[in-house]
Amino acid sequence: MADIRVLITAEEIAAALERMGRQISDDYRGKELLVVGVLKGAFMVMADLARQIDIPVEFDFMAVSSYGASTQTSGVVRILKDLDEEIQGRHVLIVEDIIDSGLTLNYLLKSLRVRKPESLEVAALLVKQGIQRVELDVRYVGFEIGPEFVVGYGLDYAGKYRNLPYVGVLESATV
Ligand code: IMP
Ligand code: MG
């Protein structure tokens, strides 16, 4: 079994998503918003954030793969599933689980910008401070965390731990 130290509790996550949902609702009131979740990691954030947004909104998903079972980013991003929706002229909000080097998000932003959305912003539950290799403007941030590798609440290590209701630091993985 792995040792996991709780970093952010389920209650703290819920409070952050409530705050983010309120900001998003206020900022986009009167506009048509398309919220785009980045799979797989953002599935849990999407489900809970969606319920904190009280304006009419549509949802879509993209799936990307930045690295396999490793805990370090390779900088290579593959789009495994593209959007179903056209985004030209639309207000688009990308929802990410975590921004580490920023390479994944940077690549996504570039490939979506050429489709000429009316606006393109980012919401991330977690932003790792101090190690971003790409300067990114993330409009909605849940928590800024240190450089530790975290799991839970959608985040995986080698495909596991996404189902934890909290965010924790993997201290050792012996299984
Ligand atoms: P970036 O391209 O380095 O910003 O990495 C972004 C992606 O790497 C995220 O969407 C996650 O899937 C994954 N990732 C980065 N840091 C962590 C972590 O601490 N735990 C789990 N996954 C992570
Ligand atoms: Mg991942």
Extents of the domains making up the chain: 12-68+76-147
Q: At residue 173, does pLDDT exceed 70?
A: no
pLDDT of residue 2: 74
Mutate to test the pocket of ligand 1, among 155, 163, 167, 170 (most ligand atoms within 8 A of CB): 155
In the CATH hierarchy, which fold is given to the domain comprising 12-68+76-147? Rossmann fold (3.40.50)
Q: Is the four-CA dihedral 119, 81, 77, 139 of positive or negative sign?
A: positive
Annotation marks residue 100 as catalytic:
yes
Whether residue 69 has pLDDT greater than 70: no
Ligand 1 site, residue 154, Cβ cutoff 6 A = no
- The Cα–Cα gap between 53 and 68 comes to 32
How many angstroms separate the alpha carbon of residue 62 from the centre of ligand 2? 13
CA 10 to ligand 2 centroid distance, Å? 20
Task: Output the pTM of the full model.
Answer: 0.91
Torsion of the alpha carbons at 115, 121, 127 and 132, rounded to the nearest 10: 50
Is the beta carbon of 103 within 6 A of some atom in ligand 1?
yes
Closest CA to 124 of 16, 15, 33: 16
What is the pLDDT, as a whole number, of residue 175? 46
Ligand 1, atom 10, residue with closest C-alpha: 98
Residue 102, pLDDT > 70, answer: yes
The model's pLDDT over 120-167, given as tens digits with 9 standing for 90+, comes to 999 999 999 876 677 788 999 999 999 999 999 999 999 999 999 999
Catalytic residue (one of 27, 60, 82, 100) = 100
Mean pLDDT, residues 59-77 taken together? 73
